Every structure is written in C-alpha cells, then in structure tokens.
Structure 1
Amino acid sequence: MSSTANHPPSLPQVLNLDASAVRSTLSYPTLISHLRSSLPSVSLSLHSPLRHNHTIDEPTSSSLLLMPSWSTSPSLPYIGVKILTSFPQNSSSNLPGINASYVLFDSSNGQTLASMEGTELTLWRTSSQSALASTYLSRTDSEVLVMVGAGALAYHLVRAHLHVRPSLKRVFVWNRTVAKAEALVRRLGEEGVGEVVFEVAEGLEEVIGLGDIISCATGSDRPLVFGERMKRGAHLDLVGSFGASMRECDDKALRRGRVFVDCEAALEESGELLGAFERGVLERGDVEGRLVELVSGEKVGRRGDEEVTVFKSVGSAVLDILAAQLVYEDFLQR
C-alpha cells in the first residue's frame, strides 16, 4: 500500500496581499483594459446578488456591506466576497471612511486562494470603471475636469480620468474642507501630469459650469451638482452615494442627461435614482443601460457634442472579482 494513500492532498498556499502588494500589481491602463476585454465575455457566467447592507449605528449612518460574486466560467474559476465597512464620521478624526477586505476562493473546490486589502482594490476598481465609462460617454476633446470631493478615491478618479482623456488641461478640486482640496491639489501637482493645471475651487457653483467632466465622490445626503449649471456636452460621473439617503446631484441633472449605471443594483440602491423614481422625474426604463452594454456595443454611448451624459455607480461585485483576478494571477506569475 502506498505510504501516501491516507494523506489528504496538500492545501494551496493562501496569498495574503496588503495594500502595497495590491498596488504593485495595478495600473490604470492594465485594469481598464482588463475590465474592457473581460466584462462582456464573462458577464453571463457571473452571479452577483444584491449586496447585504446592514446599519451598525443609525445616528452616524455606519454600515457593514457584504458583496459576493461567483463565476461558472472556466476562464474565471473564482468565488469572491468583499467585506466593507462605511463610517462617514471617520473624516472628523482623519481616518478613512471606507475599510474593506477581499477574499478569493477556488470555485471548483471552495478552497481559499487569497486575502486582499479590499480598500486599495476598491479604489482602483471604482476609478477604473468610471474612466472606462468615460471613454464611451465623455467628449473626446474634454479639457476641464471638476473633482467634487477630496478623499482617497478622488485622487484615483482624477488620475484615471486623465489617463483616458489626455485632452484634459485643467482640473478643479472642491471639498467642503478646503485644506483637503489643497492637499490633493498639492499631491497631484507634485506628481505632475503633462501640462495639466490643478486648482482648488473655493466655490463649487462657480466651476460646475466649466466642467466637461464632473466626477463626484462624496457621502453627501443633499445635491451638490445642479443640472441647470452644467454646460452642454458635460459628462457627470456619480460615484459617492450607495444608499437611499445619499444624493450628489439634483433631479434636473438626471433629466438633462442620458443615464447609464454600473450594474442593476444601482436601480435599487442609488439615492439619486430612487428619489427620482419616487418623485416621478424618471422611470426605470429611462435608464439607458449598464456598463457591460456600453462595452459590448449593445448600447450606444455619447451621440453628439451637445449631449449631457450621466454614469451612476454604486459598486459592482462583478467588477471587484475581475480586479481581484488580475491581482491574484499577476502574483502567481511572479
């Protein structure tokens, strides 16, 4: 009898990837390209139920979110789960408001493959999906980007949009706390991106009308961007809100634009959309399509220079698992 007959097979080594390890595998060109090439081919084999959103502390709107996704495709043999906490009050203590972990499993046997720092993964995934949507929805000759918010995600959104729209020449950053906007502008300026000029916007109303692309990443519960102030041909990128009480733009901004979403969950979770549905400003059928439909060519993006477009994302577990795949498989090849 073989001496190994009663020995179980060895378990795979579990990769534990911290923020620096995740960061070392990613770039905007590679992740945007991966999402563009993979999303249409695997979307039908990916299963992603609505995320669990549990309120932890009602007065401060702290919450725990669980975002699972799994694939039945041989080209994506994974199960993934992101566990995320949102503590908006952390900003007053100079702590990150979003913290997350991502766990990747083998879909053929359920074994754990990797544990990743999920906050870093989320920053790259979110900014890259916005930039990917922008390639279909913003004007190719866009020159001015207005960044509303100056948290950790804002830096990535600016860099990702600059990558896909090299025509951008000027970036305004607005934040309720001016010092945070100043810090972000200083960081971007020190890194340098061609001839791009980075400026602090002390008043949001004054710069909204200048934006060819307006990107919002805040936890606001009231409109910050008003449709009547947006210029013709503007593209509005709404990233911050993921709950019914959150809202970054008014109804007119949605009515003026052709609205696209990252995933179906946006129709159930976005405060902007839910409010517009309830008030009769929009119907669900007015939302033109999802990101995967833009990428696959099923839906047409921008149709003219005068058109206003809107991309609303609430966070997609499908895109999370694709980003995690890129990180994990890169490490396997090292």
Structure 2
Amino acid sequence: MRFISAAEIDDLLTFPALIDALADAFKGRIATPTRHHHAIEGHGATATLLLMPAWTEPSVEPAYVGTKVVTVYPDNAAASLPSVMGTYLLMDGRSGKPLAALDGTRLTLWRTAATSALASRMLERRDTERMLMVGAGALSPFLVKAHRSVRRFEDIAIWARRPDAAAEVVTALAADGIQARVAEDLEGEARQADLISCATLAREPLVQGRWLKRTAHLDLVGAFNLSMREADDEALQRGHVFIDTEAALHEGGDVAVAIAAGAYRPDLVAGTLGSLCQGEHDTAAERDDVTVFKSVGTALADLAAAMLVWKLAA
C-alpha cells in the first residue's frame, strides 16, 4: 500500500481537473451512505470524529471504495495545529485490497475548495470582479485559488477577526503570484463583493443578508455543526439557496440552523449540487439575484478527489 503525502497531492492536483472530476461525480456515480458523526468530550472544547465512506457504483470502472477518518479539534489553533486533520484510505472496489493512504487533511482542503468553485462556476455571474474571503484558516487560500480558477477577480480581500491572520493569508497567496489585501471593514467589503466565501468557526452570523448586492454569490463553507452560523436568516431568505447534499438540511450551521428555528423551510432550497450538475436548474451566469451555496462536506467528493490523485500518481 502506498502513502501519498500532502506535498504529493499538491504536486498532482490542479483545480480545473479536480472541479471537472467532481462535476462528473456529482452526477450520481458514487454511493455515499450516512457518515458517522461522534462528539468527543473531555479534551477542552468538544471535538468531533467523522467517518465518511463511499464507493463507486457497479457500472464504474475501475471500481473503488474509500473511507475518510477526520478529527475536528477546535482548540488546536492555540497549539499552532490545524483544527481539522484526517487520513483517507483508498481500496480496490472489486477485491477490497488497500491501495493507498492519502493525507486526508490535504485532500479535504482541495475537495472542499473545489466543491465551492464547482457551485460558483454554475451559479456566479461571469462579470464578477470583487471577492471577499471571510476567514483566515488553512482553507482560505485554497478557496481563493479554487474560485480564481473559474472566475477572474480584479480585487481579492481577506477579512478575519485577527488582521494579522488575514495578513498571513495575503502573504501566502503572494508567494503563489496572487495579489490580495487585508480587509478591515467587513460590512463595507461585503456590500461591494460579488463573491463572498466564508470558512470560519463562527458561533454568530458574520454576514448579514441586508449587506448583499442584488447579484452577489454567497459561499458558506464553515459552520460545520448546529451551534455555528456564518450568515443570518435574511441572507438565506434573500437568495436562491443550493446545498451540496440533502445532509445540509439537518447537519452543519446556517441552513440547518435556520430550518430548526423555523426561519427557513426545506422546500425553499432550490436544489443540490448534484441536481445542478445534472442540468436540472437554470445556471445562467447573468442571473440578477442573490445565490447561496452551503456545503457540509460529502464522502462523494473525497472519493472523487482520491480517485483522481491515484490516477495521476500511477
């Protein structure tokens, strides 16, 4: 069995290729049973253990089975460690033979950012110019790069509660030849942004619906449990809401929280990423209304990304 490191994943993957692979996977060729979600108490802030299995449908060749094991420890930032870490095990779908163990943390960063970019490729207007990245964690530069692969931005602003953290993201992006700047006024930046991408662990809404431009696209990636929010109820009520999978109706923050509170109804959700990829919705790039995409993560995307890495590594 081969181990594929984070550095190897970075060398092998590109966002255009991964986004295309995800577009194909979301058309329904991968089975994704319910993931296991466990709370771990007694280690400071409540931690989370996630087990995410998936396998290709019988008609797919070559066939694969995969499982991601993920831990989420919110206190890790104090120890300069990522909050989210994991390992991905890829197996042969016909024999069950282990093929590779991939750095699950890196794979998650790539597939999460690519999933958001896939949604924005179909929902976001083509004439977008300004991107606002809310959050300065490990995922932030990946989201910027992913969204840049499907849209051109004249201005990219990074906002975080700690300006020094935002400055670190700006520096990291500069090393890859991407110009960005630190944003200080969240409301002012949000009111001007064409795309707002959020990847935080916020407990209270950061983005207010009344701030959104009429043609804005809001990408909600963080807020992974029911005690978290990145956008308020009005942001959902104003927009055409799409979710990565039906799990977002009862898992994660934002959409599930608003539904549980009676501020939003499940039937108002316009569709899933799967239904978008299957052509069931108008994806006109010149739409004149707010669009919202909420992702809670899916094993489908993990397996699709792992399959692409394995193919490219061969």
- The two structures have a TM-score, normalised by structure 2, of 0.95
Q: In structure 1, what residue type is equivalent to 2:133?
A: M
- Please state if 1:158 is matched with 2:144: yes
Aligned equivalents of 1:17, 1:303: Cα separation in 2: 37
- 1:137-148 to 2 correspondence within 5 Å? 137-148=123-134
Match of 1:284 in 2: 266
1:88 Cα offset (Å): 1.2
Query: Deviations along 1:152-205, whole A, 9 cap, x unmatched?
Result: 100000011111002x10011011111110111122234324xxx411111212
Match of 1:269 in 2: 251
- Please state if 1:53 is matched with 2:37: yes
Match of 2:212 among 222, 230, 235: 230
Match of 2:237 among 255, 271, 277: 255
- 1:199-218 to 2 correspondence within 5 Å? 199-218=181-200
Which secondary structure does the structure 2 equivalent of 1:271 belong to?
coil
Aligned equivalents of 1:16, 1:319: Cα separation in 2: 20
- The two structures have a TM-score, normalised by structure 1, of 0.90
Aligned equivalents of 1:214, 1:273: Cα separation in 2: 16
Higher RCO, 1 vs 2 (CA within 8 Å, ≥6 residues apart): 2
1:261 Cα offset (Å): 0.7
1:75 Cα offset (Å): 2.4
Aligned equivalents of 1:213, 1:100: Cα separation in 2: 29
Aligned equivalents of 2:272, 2:50: Cα separation in 1: 22
Match of 1:176 in 2: 161
Match of 2:174 in 1: 189
Q: In structure 2, what residue type is equivalent to 1:154?
A: S
Q: Residues 93 and 46 (structure 1 numbering): CA distance in 2 closer, same or farther, change over 3 Å?
A: same
Aligned equivalents of 1:38, 1:272: Cα separation in 2: 25
Q: Residues 302 and 267 (structure 1 numbering): CA distance in 2 closer, same or farther, change over 3 Å?
A: farther
Which secondary structure does the structure 2 equivalent of 1:79 belong to?
strand
Aligned equivalents of 2:101, 2:285: Cα separation in 1: 42
Match of 2:294 among 312, 323, 327: 312
User: Which one has a bigger Cα radius of gyration?
Assistant: 1
Aligned equivalents of 1:201, 1:285: Cα separation in 2: 36
Q: Which runs of 5+ in 2 are unaligned?
A: none
Q: Which runs of 5+ in 1 are unaligned?
A: 1-13
1:283 Cα offset (Å): 1.2
Q: In structure 1, what residue type is equivalent to 2:311?
A: E
Match of 2:8 in 1: 21
Match of 1:30 in 2: 17
RMSD: 1.5
- Decide whether the 8 Å contact of 1:302 with 1:309 is kept in 2: no
Aligned equivalents of 2:158, 2:284: Cα separation in 1: 25
Aligned length: 312
Which secondary structure does the structure 1 equivalent of 2:108 belong to?
helix
Aligned equivalents of 1:302, 1:49: Cα separation in 2: 32
- Decide whether the 8 Å contact of 2:124 with 2:285 is kept in 1: no
Aligned equivalents of 1:303, 1:329: Cα separation in 2: 32
Match of 2:115 in 1: 129
Aligned equivalents of 1:266, 1:287: Cα separation in 2: 10
Greater displacement, 30-39 / 84-93: 30-39
Which secondary structure does the structure 2 equivalent of 1:260 belong to?
strand
- Decide whether the 8 Å contact of 2:126 with 2:285 is kept in 1: no
Match of 1:246 in 2: 228
Greater displacement, 88-97 / 226-235: 88-97
Aligned equivalents of 2:173, 2:199: Cα separation in 1: 17
Q: In structure 2, what residue type is equivalent to 1:53?
A: H
Match of 1:300 among 271, 275, 282: 282
- Decide whether the 8 Å contact of 1:149 with 1:174 is kept in 2: yes
Q: In structure 2, what residue type is equivalent to 1:112?
A: P
Match of 2:102 in 1: 116
Greater displacement, 234-243 / 275-284: 275-284
